[in-house]
Amino acid sequence: MTDFDLFEFWTSEAEEHTSVADKTFETLCEPFAQWLDVSVSAVENGNKIIFFGNGGSASDAQHLATELAVRYISDREPIPALSLATDTSSLTAIGNDMGFEHIFARQINAVGQSGDIAVGISTSGKSPNVIKALEAARKKGIITVGLSGRDGGDMHEVCDLLLIIPSHTTARIQEMHITLGQMFCGAMEQRLGLV
User: Cα–Cα distances in Å, from 34 out to 74, 76, 154?
Assistant: 25, 24, 20
Taking only the tens place, the pLDDT of each residue in 60-79 is 999 999 999 999 998 999 99
pTM beyond 0.95: the answer is: yes
Taking only the tens place, the pLDDT of each residue in 79-92 is 999 999 999 999 99
Q: Which of 118, 45, 38, 37 is nearest to 85 (CA)?
A: 118
pLDDT at 13: 97
Q: Which of 142, 74, 77 is nearest to 108 (CA)?
A: 142
User: Cα–Cα distances in Å, from 58 out to 38, 110, 111, 119?
Assistant: 22, 19, 18, 11
Q: Which of 139, 144, 170, 173 is nearest to 24 (CA)?
A: 173
State the average pLDDT for the chain.
97
pLDDT at 2: 81
Whether 191 shows a pLDDT value over 80: the answer reads yes
φ and ψ at residue 123, rounded to 5 degrees: -60, -35
pLDDT at 68: 98
pLDDT at 126: 98
Taking only the tens place, the pLDDT of each residue in 95-150 is 999 999 999 999 999 999 999 999 999 999 999 999 999 999 999 999 999 999 99
Percent of the chain as helix, strand, coil, to the nearest 5:
55, 10, 30
Domains and their CATH numbers in the chain: 27-191 (3.40.50.10490)
